[in-house]
Amino acid sequence: MKFYTQVQQSVQGHCQTFADYSKKKYVKEALIGVATLILMSASYFGYAWYQKRQNIQAFAGLVEISKSYEQALTKAREQKSLPADAQKENPWEDTQLLLEAIASANSGSSLAPFFVIYQAQLALEAEGDYDKACKLMEKGIRGLSKNSVYYDMFNMKRIKMLLDSPMQDVRDKAVQELEKVAAQKDNFYAQEALSTLAAYQAFHGNMDGAIQALKTLAQEDYSDKALISSPFVAQAQEKLKTLNIDFTVKNL
């Protein structure tokens, strides 16, 4: 007997056994329940596939917007060197329209927060609307998972934007957030937070606060085996040397 014939007879036998078994009490209801679960699972995986496909389209849209933004930024810089009467073209118009269309088409994607962050950047660059840019940046950050590898980066950008606020209470709150990030040694942007804090304090005339931040940054642990040294630590050490302020470097 051929292998295929054996398999066919075996399958037929199992089918008959299954048919007889399904006639027993409660078994039919149980099978219906299992079938329902299978359909629900299929629907879930179908939705997951849809989400994945949507994210792929959204990512392609982000790449397109990124290219358009860079081109617009280059045009805007070129226009600044021209006389005022020659600056007739709006270098941001195409990018704004493109972003509006792509963001709308991908509003349900998990990448949607990144479109909002781009809108915040355009509000700042193209419209010069600081308040609108801050609100959009806050919205974009809220949409990001704190587990996202991009969360800390954009959160740092948000804090820096708030440091430019004309309102003292907003700036004070941003400074507190900056100090919090600086204290998180596992945060990739901790050293940048210290550097930004030092620059902010110096700009506002608080040299004691600035020097303290620089000292903390200059004393950050480092390893001689590291491929590259931290530019923030190196800058802090250089500034302290310029100010003739002693500091101790910790070696790992």
Domain hosting 227: range is: 145-252
For the segment 51-96, what is each residue's pLDDT rounded down to a tens digit?
577 788 989 999 999 999 999 999 998 888 888 777 778 899 999 9
User: What local confidence, expressed as pLDDT, does residue 136 receive?
Assistant: 96
Is residue 2 a part of any domain in this protein?
no
Is residue 150 a part of any domain in this protein?
yes
Instruction: Note the Cα 17 to chain centre separation in Å.
Output: 56
Q: Which position has the token pair 């940048």?
A: 192
CB 175 within 8 A of CB 159: no
Rounded to two decimals, the pTM is 0.72
Do 213 and 242 fall into the same domain? yes
For the segment 6-33, what is each residue's pLDDT rounded down to a tens digit?
434 443 444 444 344 444 443 344 444 4
Rounded CA-CA distance 109/137 in Å is 18
Rounded CA-CA distance 105/115 in Å is 11
Do 183 and 61 fall into the same domain? no
CB 125 within 8 A of CB 137: no
Number of neighbours of residue 82 by Cβ within 10 angstroms: 11
Kindly state the average pLDDT of the residues 99-105: 95
